[in-house]
Amino acid sequence: MDAYQKTAIATIIATIILISVGSLVRITGAGLGCPDWPKCWGCWFPPSSIEEVDMAYIQEKGYDIQEFNPIKMWTEYVNRLVGVAIGFLVFLTFLRSVRYLKSQPAIFWYSCLSFALVGFQGWLGGQVVRSGLQPGIITLHMALAVLLLCVLIYATFKTGQDRNLENIAPGLCTKLTRLSILLFVFTCIQMLIGTQVREGIDPFIKDAGGLPRSEWLGQIGVIDHVHRLSSWLVLITGIIIYRVIKTTRSAGFLPAVSRWLVAGIVLQILLGVLLAYASLPRSAQVLHLTLATLLLCGEWYLILVLCHARHDVGNSEDQPALRGQVFASISH
């Protein structure tokens, strides 16, 4: 593993951590723990007490000093610090991708794209705070984080795509690729519906003296039922992929990843059941989003492996079509 791969993988891990921390920020209602951006209560470093806050600045900006909460403030500030760390890691990844500019230009350009995405994410994070946590912007912020993961995984995969790949018959490879794309799309839709459920309970998080947590989901309408039912599409597709791969009688990468994906989907459904019937435990909420992110990463990686798989009979004529099929599907 070279320096580029190590840095890119570290960035992928840090981005997954950021998504988890971002989830913690939302479920604790700490999104406005620092009401301004890039400062926090007018300070570049969070104030240790309310006495350190510049009251003239607070009055000028129209912030309510009664909202000052050290726990929420630090939760949001740690979220920002992780974001800054990812910015540096992505920049380092970009710098280390220059060596591939002539030999494998795709690695360089996708690293360049990830650098542009993280810059836009930083700007969008400021807009999230300035908008007062507008739901649509928050959803876009998370979607771009997932897109950043996919770009980084693709660039990292390209550095070692000719090593340790499965030998699969062309027809079976095509079938598995289509099923994997379908699973990825279903999971993306499921995550998007989940964000709508998440936005539905946000008002109850802000209204601490309102309904008890056990009654929140019952107030958001049909979208919660759609979210529960659509999880079966993800599970059924994952099981089909597992059974198709099992027919190859391979002992390599594909059977292992298909087992982990099905196990992850089952665990995700169990977490959903826990959330629905155990009054939305905060830890389960964080795990639910984190696991969904990990599943998307695993599904995307599976698609990449299948698209670049070596066939027993040499290079298949339909391999370019498979690549085009994947990226056309993702773009739509």
DSSP for 51-86?
Answer: GGS-HHHHHHHT--GGG--HHHHHHHHHHHHHHHHH
pLDDT at 28: 79
pLDDT at 262: 95
pLDDT at 256: 86
pLDDT at 294: 94
pLDDT digits (tens, 9 = 90+) for 101-151: 888 898 999 999 999 998 888 888 777 777 666 667 777 878 888 899 999
For 310, which DSSP code? B
Answer whether the bond into residue 38 is a cis peptide, omega within 30°. Answer: yes
Assess contact for 76 and 90: CB atoms under 8 A. no
Burial label for 332, CB within 10 Å (0-12, 13-18, 19+), is: exposed
Assess contact for 185 and 326: CB atoms under 8 A. no
pLDDT at 201: 80
The amino acid sitting at 158 is K
In the chain, where are the structural domains located? 1-160, 164-332
pLDDT at 268: 94
Whole-angstrom Cα distance, residue 93 to residue 265?
Answer: 31
Whole-angstrom Cα distance, residue 14 to residue 264?
Answer: 20
pLDDT at 332: 43
Assess contact for 244 and 172: CB atoms under 8 A. yes
Assess contact for 19 and 291: CB atoms under 8 A. no
Report the phi/psi class of residue 58: left, alpha or beta, with left for phi > 0 and alpha for psi in -120 to 50. alpha
Low-confidence ranges of the chain (pLDDT < 50): 162-165, 310-332
Whole-angstrom Cα distance, residue 164 to residue 304?
Answer: 13
pLDDT at 116: 92
Assess contact for 125 and 2: CB atoms under 8 A. no
Distances (CA, A) of 110 to 74, 96, 101, 107: 33, 12, 11, 5
Assess contact for 149 and 297: CB atoms under 8 A. yes
pLDDT at 300: 94
CA angle 259, 261, 263 (to 5 degrees): 70
Distances (CA, A) of 216 to 24, 30, 219: 18, 19, 5
* Among 294, 298, 297, 290, residue whose Cα is nearest residue 271: 290
pLDDT at 208: 58
pLDDT at 149: 92
pLDDT at 159: 85
pLDDT at 192: 86
Assess contact for 36 and 81: CB atoms under 8 A. no
Report the phi/psi class of residue 108: left, alpha or beta, with left for phi > 0 and alpha for psi in -120 to 50. alpha
pTM: 0.82
Distances (CA, A) of 74 to 125, 171, 225: 16, 53, 35
